[in-house]
Amino acid sequence: MRPYLLQETLFILFVYLFVYLYQKIESEKPIDSWKNLLLIAFIVGLTLLSGYFAIFFIILFGIFLLYKLYEKKEIKSIYFIISAFISSVVFTFAVFPRYEHGFISLRGKEAVNKLTENFMENILTSLKRLIEILPGNLFNKPKYIFLLLCVALLYLFWEKRKRLYAFFKSLIFIQPLTIILLVSLIWASAIMIVAPYKIIRYISPVIPLLSLFIPYIVSKLDRPKIFILSLLLCVGIYGVVALKEQRIEHLYVDAYKKVQFNQYPELPVIVYINNTNECFHKNSTIISYVADNQTYEFPHSENSLLEKAMKYEKAILLIEASDNIDIVSSFDNYFLEKLDFDHPEIVWFTAYHIVRK
């Protein structure tokens, strides 16, 4: 599971928590209990751990909760919410004590640079990409869902033509759904601006939340037959589109069979990455392709690489392509055969089949 999908799941869980608290406040029921404190600390903590961009997401929803409590004159509950959120930060650091190091990491510095270098150009580029990305991922291509919503809205406008003001008010009246859509859109816009690459993966966690307005509009159809037909069309369209493999990012069907190093389970595989800052990320790209009952070694230095290789008569080397290692001279007592594989997930590596002379 890619981290963005995990964050998507935790965003949905967090929004459930927000709606639960919002409805409690709206109905003037008490929220300050040990159960709610632990619930908030746990769910918010997990959401914080899902990625650093989640911080802004949590802050936005927190502002709406605090404003709602202020509107209801629930000062004691304001202190409770603040305390619960502080508890979630404590939980986050308890699980991951080096949490703050992410702000000074390479990706953290890249995000800060997006706010300082070519600021206006970056904003315009980011918003342009957002406009290109969102429709295709909310409505799919071709835009069947968009056309269906247009028909549904036209029907609603015609049905409610004598009381349009009341209808519009019911559509945009401040409620949890309106807040969810607004926060999700603000968050997606802000994250696209600071994201190192202007691609879907960084804002994908809020796509399910933004898509909530589709069933919301359909639910306003008050004629059962039209409502059921519209609902079935939505489910059918999304169901058909979900089966299209070309729309699923990073889905490499049968790629396992194309990666040559796992086709010889009797041969050990020695994976070497010289840059320790990137070894965890780059090693993780081969996890999906390791063979059962095959030995894998991960040397930590060039000397360690040679030591591990010397243990075997035959082996496969996976060497980071950027490493400046003279393979021929380093393994002069081996026959070397370069293995060719062209796969976007493991472009970091060059593969060699070595046999002792």
Return the higher-pLDDT residue of 328 and 7: 7
From CA 117, how far away is CA 285, in angstroms rounded? 31
* pLDDT at residue 2 is higher than 70: no
From CA 133, how far away is CA 141, in angstroms rounded? 11
From CA 183, how far away is CA 58, in angstroms rounded? 10
* pLDDT at residue 63 is higher than 70: yes
Length of the chain: 357
What distances in angstroms separate CA 14 from CA 8, 57, 221, 248, one per listed residue? 10, 10, 29, 25
Instruction: Look at residue 117 in the predicted model and tell me its pLDDT.
Output: 74
At position 178, the amino acid (one-letter code) is T
How far does Cα 319 stand from its chain's mean position?
A: 29
Tokens read off for 299 = 């040397």
Query: Residue ranges of the domains in the chain?
Result: 1-104, 105-251, 255-356
- Taking every pair of Cα atoms in the chain, the longest distance, rounded to a whole number of angstroms, is 90
**Percentage above 70 pLDDT, the chain:** 66
- For the stretch 268-302, pLDDT in tens is 888 887 766 666 666 676 777 777 788 888 888 88
- Contacts of 258-264 with C-beta under 8 Å, sequence gap 24+, read 258/341, 258/343, 259/289, 259/341, 259/343, 259/346, 260/339, 260/340, 260/341, 260/351, 261/289, 261/316, 261/318, 261/339, 261/341, 261/351, 262/289, 262/290, 262/291, 262/294, 263/291, 264/294, 264/316
- For the stretch 103-150, pLDDT in tens is 776 666 676 677 777 778 888 888 888 888 877 776 655 455 555 556
At position 107, the amino acid (one-letter code) is R
- For the stretch 157-172, pLDDT in tens is 555 555 555 555 555 5
163 close to 6: Cβ distance less than 8 angstroms: no
